[in-house]
Amino acid sequence: MTRRVPLAIVGAAIIAFTVTACAPGVPDPTPTERPGAASTSTPAAPPSPTGAPADESIVLPAACDDAFSASMRERLIAAQLPPDDPTLTMPSTDLAVGAQMLEDLAHLRCTWGVASEVGIATTIALVGAEQSEDLLDAYRADGMTCDVVDGDAKQTRCLVEERFEGEMPGVIGEIHVFRANAWLSTKWINVEMAGYADDMVARLWG
């Protein structure tokens, strides 16, 4: 499977890197009970250990800083991949149905790099269960491997990677994370992506 990359080629260098409270509420008044009377109050449900709602749904991050840990941002910037440069116009997916759906969804776009042969484009979008299933079917039909992540039964991840040889060797790929009400869509070129998607998941779900 071969795709054309809609990027402006600025240089030939390939850069690789290893990316491998609630405020205390006012307590209810203590009810007056007869001695020996059983309490009829229902204990409050414990908060989710991740800080997310019980159904794991998230709200859309207000900014890209909220979607990545400080250490990940530092590693990307150290690899000369500046955040959100307007010249990097690469889409976060080449699949037509996915790109079209992103236009209609509430989303946040985050990029790393400039217009060149090295960069990352990620879109964080909010989706419904049916939309997630439709996208998973489409990515599988397009040849991607989509599997439930070991140790996280609520997360399904689709992966594809292509390597090119010749005068301008390189590698390009896509990573798509589906979890709860979110779709994390990422396309990358000539970047070592180890740990990138895991960092976003940890940041968004705690």
Tell me the per-residue pLDDT of 60-105, one tens digit each, with 9 for 90 and over: 999 999 999 999 999 999 999 999 999 999 999 999 999 999 999 9
- Which residues, in sequence order, are bridge partners of residue 148? 156
Inside any domain, residue 4: no
Inside any domain, residue 106: yes
Inside any domain, residue 38: no
- Percent of the chain topping pLDDT 70: 74
Question: Which two three-digit tokens encode residue 55?
Answer: 């159904």
Inside any domain, residue 14: no
Inside any domain, residue 154: yes
Inside any domain, residue 54: no
Q: Is the pLDDT of residue 6 over 90?
A: no
CATH (domain of 187)? 3.40.1000
Total number of domains constituting the chain = 1
**What is the pLDDT confidence band of residue 184, given thresholds at 50, 70 and 90?**
very high
For the segment 29-59, what is each residue's pLDDT rounded down to a tens digit? 333 333 333 333 333 333 333 333 457 999 9
| pLDDT average, residue stretch 185-203 | 97
- Domain span including residue 82: 64-205
Whole-model pTM above 0.85? no
Inside any domain, residue 175: yes
For the segment 129-157, what is each residue's pLDDT rounded down to a tens digit? 999 999 999 999 999 999 999 999 999 99
Inside any domain, residue 55: no
> 118: burial class by Cβ within 10 Å (0-12, 13-18, 19+)?
buried
